[in-house]
A and B are shown apart, each in its own frame.
Chain A
Amino acid sequence: MSDLKKQKKNWVSLGFALAIIVGGLSYLIFGKLEKNIVYFVTPTELLAKGDLAYDKPVRLGGTVKKGSIQWDAERVSLKFLLSDGSKEISIVSYETPPQMFQEGMGVVVEGKLLKTSSFQADRLMVKHSNEYHPPKEGEKPAIIYKELVP
């Protein structure tokens, strides 16, 4: 192959590679991926699905409703209401929650909404806000994980 031809071939393959990358990226940005990239659904969105909402693995996000936390340390069972302001779903989890877990905190749970009972969470994650403040006068800062080592 002559040098000129070889060079032309290189440019063609480079062109293809670029087209694939640009195509992929623009699909990501402008395409219909919006729907699939949703990391979690809200209680309102999940309940709006009706019968389709049940028994399917899903991520659910919202805030922990004030006064709804029931924690049984002996049986390691946690129950609380997850709310998005308008609708709420009762969550059951059998794992120790992250220590930042508390009333009013944003959380994301992975699991299934069971038809018979509540949402069974396999994984519970805390979604922190973008606010950082030192403890108020007289308050002590939280010491994360201190209680796990008695």
Chain B
Amino acid sequence: MKKIFQYGSLIVAIGFFIFAQWWGLFRSPPDAQMGEVQKLMYVHVPAAWNSFIAYSIVFISSILYLVRKKMFWDHLAASSAEVGCVLTALTLSLGSIWGRPTWGVWWTWDARLTTTAILLFLYVGYLAFRAFVDDREKRARLSAPLGLLIFLNVPIVYFSVKWWRTLHQVQSSPSTVDPQMVLSLRLNAVAFLFILILFIYYRFHLSRLKEKIENQIMGEIQ
């Protein structure tokens, strides 16, 4: 029964992802100025949004670890941070690929791009920090405040385009985007959300299994 649920959700998530991408690529109109290049919106933007969700889970799990002192929350924080890093790396690389034909450059040091790069480094740093602390309890205890602190950069990334002058445009809204494109974007955002949940779930599961085995081996040695 559990197996059926696991494989079922995997098939649903991947199936919906393929559907949403197909919809975006073939059923939704190209942009008048950018042409088909605009379709990058359906991967770049969902990746960015969902990375924010992943970092929010790190933030909330860190608080809950500090309150409850349950390893569950530490596993969840670490897993979400990892998936968040993958999504931010995707956001940056897809944005770069989008920037070259439209802006004319792969990269520029404006506030949005710079703060997003910092975001990636902060969470990669968080994961590296975890790897440096051997003691399991201590790792959880020290990385929780770190997980809270680095979340500070998430709102900075979001508001960077409003606070400062940037090459990156400000957030679009349904009033500035054609309804058909809004629909495609929402479909793909949901598709990415499914993938995000699945990734975090598997990473979390793996993380707990790994620890169980490690504990067993340590028990046998002693």
Contact = CB atoms under 8 A, between A and B. Distances in A.
Interface residues of B, number: 40
Interface of B: 29-38, 41, 101-105, 108-111, 142, 145, 149, 152-153, 156, 164-167, 169-173, 176-178, 180-181
A141 B35 contact: yes
A14 B142 contact: yes
A135 B178 CA distance: 11
Interface stretch (A22-30, A46-54, A71-79, A111-119): A22-30
23 contacts: A14-B142, A22-B149, A38-B164, A39-B164, A97-B104, A100-B33, A100-B102, A100-B104, A125-B167, A126-B102, A128-B33, A129-B169, A129-B176, A130-B170, A130-B176, A132-B31, A132-B34, A132-B172, A133-B31, A134-B181, A135-B30, A139-B32, A143-B35
A8 to B, nearest CB: 14
Interface in A59-115: 61, 97-101, 108
A125 B29 CA distance: 25
Q: Which range holds the interface residue count of chain A?
A: 35 or more
Contacts of B30: 134-135, 141
B167 A134 contact: no
Contacts of A101: 104
B181 A132 contact: yes
The secondary structure that dominates the B interface is loop
> Of residues A21, A129, A133, A136, which shows the largest number of chain B Cβ atoms within 10 Å of its Cβ?
A133
A21 B156 contact: no
A98 B103 contact: yes
Nearest to A131: B176
Given A29-B156, A39-B164, A126-B103, A134 B34 contact: no
Given A28-B156, A39-B164, A142-B35, A128 B111 contact: no
A61 B110 CA distance: 13
A37 B169 contact: no
B35 A127 contact: no
Interface of A: 14, 18, 21-22, 25, 28-29, 37-40, 61, 97-101, 108, 123-136, 139, 141-145
Contact of A123 (B37, B105, B153): B105
Contacts of B177: 130-133
A101 B172 CA distance: 21
B195 to A, nearest CB: 24
A134 B41 CA distance: 14
B31 A141 contact: yes
B169 A136 contact: no
Contacts of A144: 34-35, 37, 101-102
A4 to B, nearest CB: 15
A128 B176 contact: no
B40 to A, nearest CB: 11
A127 B149 contact: no
The 9 closest A-B pairs by CB, nearest first: A98-B104, A134-B29, A141-B30, A135-B32, A130-B172, A130-B169, A141-B35, A142-B35, A131-B176
Given A128-B33, A132-B172, 14 more contacts: A18-B145, A25-B153, A28-B156, A29-B156, A37-B164, A134-B32, A134-B181, A135-B32, A141-B30, A141-B34, A142-B32, A142-B34, A142-B35, A144-B35
Given A29-B156, A131-B172, A132-B172, A61 B165 contact: yes
